[in-house]
A and B are shown apart, each in its own frame.
Chain A
Amino acid sequence: MRRLPVYLVLDVSGSMTGEPIEAVKNGVQLMHSALRKDPYALESAYISVITFESNVKQVVPLTELSQFQPPSLSAGGGTSLGAALSKVVECANNEVAKSTKEQKGDWKPLVFIMTDGSPTDNVEPGITAFTNYKWGIVVACAAGQGADKTILQRLTENVVTLDTADSATISAFFKWVSSSISASSKKVDEAGSDGSSSELPPPPPEITLAKA
Chain B
Amino acid sequence: MTSEYATYRPTPEQTNSDSSVQSQPSSGNTSAQLSATPQSDEPASSDTLKEKGLAIVFNYKVADGEERPDSYFYQQITSRIDAANIPAGSVGVPYEIVIDFTQISKDLHITDSTQNFELGKKGFSVTVSGEVMKIAATPRESIDDVIKFCFRCENGKTKITGKDETPYFEYPKPLLINPHPRDLWQNLPVKDYEGYQNKDYDAQGVSVEYIPAKKGFASATPAKSIEVIAASQRGRSHAHVGKPRDDCFYFDFDKETGWNFVAVADGAGSAKYSRKGAEIACQTVISKLRSALSQEFNKTYINSDLQLLLQWGEEFVAANGKLDGSRENEFLAKTKLGDVFHQSVYAAHVAIVEEAKKRNAEKRDDAKTKDYHTTLLCAAFRYFSELSGWFIVSYWVGDGGAAILRWNKTERVLVLGEPDGGEFAGQTRFLTMPEEINAAPIRKRLRFSFCDSFEAMVLVTDGITDPFFPSEAAVVDEPRWLEFYNDKLKKGCDEEKNGCKELFDEAISPQEKSEALLKWLDFWSKGNHDDRTILVVKNKEL
Binding site for B on A (CB under 8 A): 1-3, 22, 25-26, 33, 36-40, 42-44, 65-72, 74, 99-105, 186, 189-195
A189 to B462, CA, bound (A): 12
In the complex, what residues of A have CB within 8 A of residue B18's CB? Answer: 72
Contact with A along B502-542 (1 / 0, CB 8 A): 00000000000000000000000111111000000000000
Name the distance in Å between A30's Cβ and chain B's nearest Cβ. Answer: 12
Q: How far is the CB of A97 from chain B (nearest CB, A)?
A: 11
Which residues of chain B have C-beta atoms less than 8 A from A186's C-beta?
A: 237
Q: When chains A and B are docked, how far (Å) is the Cα of A81 from the Cα of B271?
A: 41
Task: Tell me the minimal C-beta distance from B464 to chain A in angstroms.
Answer: 13
Decide: A194 near B424, CB < 8 A? Known: A36-B178, A36-B179, A102-B473.
Answer: yes
Chain B contacts of A44 at CB under 8 A?
527
**Cβ-defined partner of B529 (8 Å) among A43, A68, A69, A100:** A43
With CB as the reference atom, state the residue of chain B lying closest to A39: B184
Once the chains bind, are A43 and B269 in contact (CB under 8 Å)?
Answer: no
User: In the complex where A22-B43, A99-B424 touch, is A43 in contact with B181 (Cβ < 8 A)?
Assistant: yes
A191 partner, pick from B88, B174, B269, B525, beta carbons under 8 A: B269
Q: Which of A66, A72, A100 contacts B88 (CB 8 A)?
A: A66
- Give the distance in Å from the alpha carbon of A39 to the alpha carbon of B109 in the complex: 44
Q: Is the pair B19, A69 in contact by a Cβ cutoff of 8 Å?
A: yes
Supplied contacts A69-B87, A192-B428, 17 more A-B pairs, CB within 8 Å: A1-B525, A38-B184, A68-B88, A72-B20, A74-B16, A99-B423, A99-B424, A102-B473, A103-B470, A105-B425, A189-B269, A190-B269, A191-B530, A192-B270, A192-B427, A194-B425, A194-B427
CA separation between A204 and B425, bound complex, in Å? 33
Task: Judge whether B462 and A191 touch: CB under 8 Å.
Answer: yes
Cβ of B204 under 8 Å from chain A: no
With both chains docked as a complex, state the minimum distance between the C-beta of A46 and any C-beta of chain B, in angstroms: 11
- Which of B44, B45, B176 has the most chain A CB atoms closer than 10 A to its own CB? B176
**CB <8 Å contact, A72 and B270:** no
Which residues of B lie under 8 Å from residue A195 when comparing CB positions? 426
Give chain B residues whose Cβ lies under 8 Å from the Cβ of A189: 237, 269, 529-530
Set of chain A residues within 8 Å of B176, measured between Cβ atoms: 36, 69
CB proximity of A197 to chain B, nearest CB, Å = 10
* CA–CA, A78 and B493, complex, Å: 52
* Pair A1/B426 contact, Cβ less than 8 Å: no
**B144 on the interface (CB 8 Å rule)?**
yes
Secondary structure class of chain A's binding surface, majority of residues: loop
CB distance from B159 to the nearest CB of A (A): 31
Report the minimal beta-carbon distance from A179 to chain B, rounded to whole angstroms.
Answer: 15
B240 located at the interface, meaning its Cβ lies under 8 Å from any Cβ of chain A in the complex: yes
Q: How far is the CB of B12 from chain A (nearest CB, A)?
A: 11
**A103 adjacent to B471 (CB under 8 Å):** yes
Q: Which residues of B contact A1 (CB under 8 A)?
A: 525-528
Instruction: Tell yes or no: B394 within 8 A of A by CB.
Output: no
B34 within 8 A of A: no
The contact string, 1 if C-beta is below 8 Å from chain A, for chain B 11-22, is 000001111100
User: Are A66 and B178 neighbours in the complex by a CB distance under 8 Å?
Assistant: yes
User: Quick one: which of B206-255 are within 8 Å of A by CB?
Assistant: 236-237, 240
B69 within 8 A of A: no
How far, in angstroms, from A21 to B237 measured CA to CA in the complex? 36
Q: B240: which A residues are within 8 A, CB to CB? A: 39
Identify the closest chain A residue to B142 (Cβ). Answer: A36
Distance of A31 Cα from B518 Cα, bound (Å): 37
Cβ of A37 and Cβ of B184 under 8 Å apart? yes
Q: Does B90 contact A (CB under 8 A)?
A: yes
Q: Shortest CB–CB separation between residue A15 and chain B, in angstroms?
A: 19
Is B402 interfacial (CB-CB < 8 Å)? Answer: no
A25, closest chain B residue (CB): B45
Chain A residues with CB under 8 Å of B397's CB are none
| B470 nearest CB neighbor, chain A only | A103
| Cα-based distance from A155 to B270 in the complex (angstroms) | 29
Residue B99, interface by CB 8 Å: no
Q: Which residues of B contact A22 (CB under 8 A)?
A: 43-44
A136 CB → nearest B CB, Å: 12
Contact assessment for A102 and B270 in the assembled complex, using a CB-CB cutoff below 8 Å:
no
Judge whether A102 and B528 touch: CB under 8 Å: no
Return chain B residues, CB-CB under 8 Å to A193. 270, 426
A191 to B422, CA, bound (A): 14
Q: Does B268 contact A (CB under 8 A)?
A: yes
A192 to chain B, nearest CB (A): 5
Can you list 5 pairs linking A and B with CB atoms under 8 Å apart? A39-B181, A72-B18, A72-B20, A102-B470, A190-B270
Tell me whether B174 and A69 are in contact (CB under 8 A).
yes
Task: State A26–B16 Cα separation when bound (angstroms).
Answer: 12
A42 adjacent to B43 (CB under 8 Å): no
Q: Which residues of A contact B473 (CB under 8 A)?
A: 101-102
Q: A67 near B184 (CB under 8 angstroms)?
A: no
The interface centre, meaning the residue of B144, B237, B425 with most chain A CB atoms within 10 A of its CB, is B425
Whose C-beta in chain B lies nearest to the C-beta of A106?
B425
Interface readout for B83-121 with A: 1 if CB under 8 Å, 0 if not?
Answer: 000011010000000000000000000000000000000
